Amino acid sequence: MNPPDSPQFASLKGRVILVTGAGSGLGREAAIAFATQGATVALLGRNENRLESTYDEIVARGGPEPAMFPYDLEAADDSGFERLAGTISYHLKRLDGILHSAAAFFSLTPLKQQTLAEWETLLKVNLAVPFALTRSCLPMLESSPDASVIFTGESHGQQPAAYWGGYAVSKSGLAPLTTIFSQELERSTNIRFNTLIPGPVNSPLRRKTHPGETIDSQPQPADLLPWYLWLMGPESRHVRGQVIDCSKGLEP
């Protein structure tokens, strides 16, 4: 039960997909890939210049014109997420998927050197925000005939290791979040929740955690795009409540 090896995927034409962290890394690459398959992508991120770069790349490739939502997830509260969901609904009229790719990370340090302020940021951006933003967008997602929510996990959230501290702990909460959302909305057969763990990949985060690696020593973001397209598209409609490690595949 792996994504197809063929680059031919079902069209995402007509769908509206929200991507957080769309200005860089896997969020940017996935947003471009979704648009290439016909989706209208709502680009969300803190850095407006980076969002504009993603926007320009999508337009240059002939994708549907995306929407940009510069937004500081760390500073957001319940009312802010409700307003954001309302803005998306007003401008784009619908929502068929969310890719939660935004993440907070500081450095690999012993727990004794990590601060409460750092943990509060990590827990909010990496765990609380995916919950709160999804909750605010649920009315739109439940109105979609086929909606997919993808949380971005991390291997150390599943297998904790020294020095990963608050980052690993914050990411570890996404698996139970996926299960709880899936069970509570199991009667909503049109919406599914899964967590995707990219594994080692050449990304801005990987370069922070492993600065000594050469660029070509790990898979490139493009190598993982079949997973993102598969999980966001109709071929994976039967996959629900799963934690999927790209480096290991999904057991049937």
Report yes or no on 2 lying in a domain. Answer: no
Q: Residue 45 sits in a domain of what CATH number?
A: 3.40.50.720
Report yes or no on 3 lying in a domain. Answer: no
* Per-residue pLDDT, 193: 97
3 state SS for the chain: CCCCCCCCCCCCCCCEEEEECCCCHHHHHHHHHHHHCCCEEEEEECCHHHHHHHHHHHHHCCCCCCEEEECCHHHCCHHHHHHHHHHHHHHHCCCCEEEECCCCCCCCCCHHHCCHHHHHHHHHHHHHHHHHHHHHHHHHHHHCCCEEEEEECCHHHHCCCCCCHHHHHHHHCHHHHHHHHHHHCCCCCCEEEEEEECCCCCCHHHHHHCCCCCHHHCCCHHHHHHHHHHHHCHHHCCCCCCEEECCCECCC
Indicate whether this model's pTM tops 0.85: yes
Contact (CB, 8 A) for 135 and 183: no
pLDDT in tens, the chain (252 residues): 555 554 456 689 999 999 999 999 899 999 999 999 999 999 999 999 999 999 999 999 999 999 999 999 999 999 999 999 999 999 999 999 999 999 999 889 999 999 999 999 999 999 999 999 999 999 999 999 999 999 999 888 788 899 989 999 999 999 999 999 999 998 878 999 999 998 766 656 655 565 555 666 667 778 888 999 999 999 999 999 999 988 775 443
* Per-residue pLDDT, 213: 55
Token match 């139970």: residue? Answer: 176
Report yes or no on 26 lying in a domain. Answer: yes
Q: Which domain holds residue 95?
A: 16-245
Report yes or no on 8 lying in a domain. Answer: no
* Per-residue pLDDT, 187: 85
* Per-residue pLDDT, 127: 97
Q: Say which of 71, 90, 163, 167 is annotated catalytic.
A: 167
Report yes or no on 1 lying in a domain. Answer: no
Bridge-based pairing of strands 97-100 and 67-70 is unpaired
Report yes or no on 7 lying in a domain. Answer: no
Report yes or no on 87 lying in a domain. Answer: yes
Report yes or no on 136 lying in a domain. Answer: yes
How many domains does the chain contain in total?
1
* Per-residue pLDDT, 222: 81
228 counts as catalytic:
no
